[in-house]
Amino acid sequence: MQIQFHGAVRTVTGSQHLLTINGHRILLDCGLYQGSRKESYRRNQNLPFDAASIDKVILSHAHIDHSGNLPNLVKSGFKGDIICTYPTRDLCAIMLRDSAKIQGYDIQYLNKKRARHNLPPVEPIYDMEDAVDSLKQFVGIGYNRPFQIFPGIYLTFYDAGHILGSAITVLDIEEEETKQSRRLVFSGDLGRPNRPILNDPSPIDSADILLIESTYGNREHPDLDEASDKLETIINSTCKQGGKVIVPAFAVGRTQELVYRIHKLVDARDISPDLPIYVDSPLAIDATSIYRLHPEAYDEEVARFLLESHTGDPFGFAMMQYTRSTAQSKALNHLRQPAVIISASGMAEAGRILHHLKNNIEDPRNTVLIVGWQAPHTLGRRLVEEEPEVKIFGERYQLKAQVSTINGFSAHADRSELLEWAGGIKTPPQHTFIVHGEEGSSFALADALNKNLGFENVSVPEMGQTFHI
């Protein structure tokens, strides 16, 4: 067996791990690398392997850093199945098209710049048609259903509890050459236990070869209940002073979690049932419909909540409004009463959130609520750091609104939670590979797996590195 690491090693984006088992080439994830524009374009455009030589793709979940380069893979000659869970397939139907759209805008901007320097225009990595074409190769399977992908190779997905449809990939392999039976486990992105809507990450009790994520390999998250209490306090105090709460949030996952938490607060009368709540993002609205389509993926708490709630919808209640059209979105600019507006993008780099920030950050009664990690150099990060003046659409605005941050909403297991999950594996794996983390986090987790759990043979692979195991 051979494993080659082509992305999300010593970094968190561009997940692509290529397995060669019994002569079959299986790609785990085919994500987009997200970094500086030039570097991203070069890395994503040039696949590090011959696309036509790949037999199958196994996709852990729909996040773009795991799925986003599939249209390019298909466009470059990949003809096989892309196997994932049903919700992942449905989320990809909106996310890959959205990704094609964003790349279209990006390339337009880039080509304008190139034209000024008399350089020829460049092509987008893929377009809408490529995104739609790639969807034709998806094959959905349910959790906990062993599925033979090649003779002697069985795939089972277990719930990873990270976003809707996210999966831990387990491959039970009968190796032809050695006649050995071995189990390879790829954690994908692992969620946190006790998060709303989603199940806890499934425990896995055996693995001979383990690939484990390490986003928070060196950090612990605050308590989840603390996060909900903080949400209640921020909404109530802002409304009391007549202000609005503006929340930049990722359209898939974070928005649905926020809406559900607010729904619970409203039902418990912890916040006023008369307070209007808006989700102003077409992508988030589409993603919410997909969340509604997959009750089989909900945890017990939501199932119970649905029985008790009068709306029968975790994402809908009297004052909850989804604004899809541009006219509806623009109407929010004239809103004078307290409200909560949740909009994308999550790091306030693009999308409708920019309009809401522009219209609201100069009013000290308002609060900008940050609910996710903000990358350096983004507007979101500037707001977290409370820069007194920020640029939006090229204009300068004074930051007079309050900025509050809730850190507890992370969709990734923290250090203790990663160790606890890995500790469920009864006999230490023969080989462990640490992926999906910045270098510091990956090495910290490698060290802890070795010292705390007795895992030997733990590697933090480098980009392009191949292991024969």
Q: Which is nearer to Zn ion, 208 or 213 (CB)?
A: 213
Of 190 and 259, the one with the shorter C-beta distance to Zn ion is 190
**String of b and e for 217-252 (b: at least 16 CB within 10 Å)?**
bbeebeebeebbebbbebbbebbeeebbbbbbbbbb
Q: To 5 degrees, how large is the angle CA 185–CA 32–CA 417?
A: 40
Tokens for 400, please give them.
């007079």
d(CA 377, CA 438): 17
For 331, the 3-state DSSP assignment is helix
In the complex, minimum distance from the CB of residue 435 to Zn ion, in angstroms, rounded to a whole number:
12
Nearer to Zn ion, 12 or 259 (CB): 12
**Closest distance between Zn ion and the C-beta of residue 455, in Å?**
23
User: Minimal distance in Å, beta carbon 343 to Zn ion?
Assistant: 21
Instruction: Name the helix (H) or strand (E) containing 87.
Output: helix 86-116
What is the nearest approach in angstroms of Zn ion to the Cβ of residue 160?
Answer: 9
Residue closer to Zn ion (CB basis): 125 or 167: 167
Are 74 and 133 in contact, with CB atoms under 8 Å apart? yes
Angle at 233 between CA 230 and CA 237, to 5 degrees: 145
CB of 321 to Zn ion, least distance (A): 28
Nearest distance, CB of residue 191 and Zn ion, angstroms: 9
Which residue's CB is nearer to Zn ion, number 187 or number 228? 187
Angle at the Cα of 335 (from 332 to 339), degrees rounded to 5? Answer: 90
Given the complex with Zn ion, which of 189 and 208 has the nearer CB atom?
189
DSSP for 445-462, please give it.
HHHHHHHHH---SEE-PP
Tell me which residue of 208, 216, 214 sits closest to 425, measured CA to CA: 208
12 or 173: CB nearest Zn ion: 12
Q: Which residues bind Zn ion (CB under 5 A)?
A: 63, 189
Output the furthest CA–CA distance in the chain (Å, rounded).
71
Q: Rounded to the nearest whole angstrom, what is the least distance from the CB of residue 339 to Zn ion in the complex? A: 30
SS3 115: helix
Closer of 189 and 417 to Zn ion (Cβ): 189
Q: Are 184 and 382 in contact (CB under 8 A)?
A: no
Shortest separation between residue 189's beta carbon and Zn ion, angstroms: 4
Task: Give least dist CB 231 to Zn ion, A.
Answer: 22
Q: What are the CA-CA distances from residue 279 to residues 253, 319, 321, 330 (Å)? A: 13, 11, 6, 13
Q: Please say which residue, 24 or 219, places its beta carbon nearer to Zn ion.
A: 219
Nearer to Zn ion, 6 or 63 (CB): 63
Cα(189)–Cα(88) distance, integer angstroms = 13
CB 300 → Zn ion: shortest distance, Å?
A: 23
| H/E stretch holding 27 | strand 24-28
Reference 382, options 363, 357, 407, 360; nearest CA is: 357
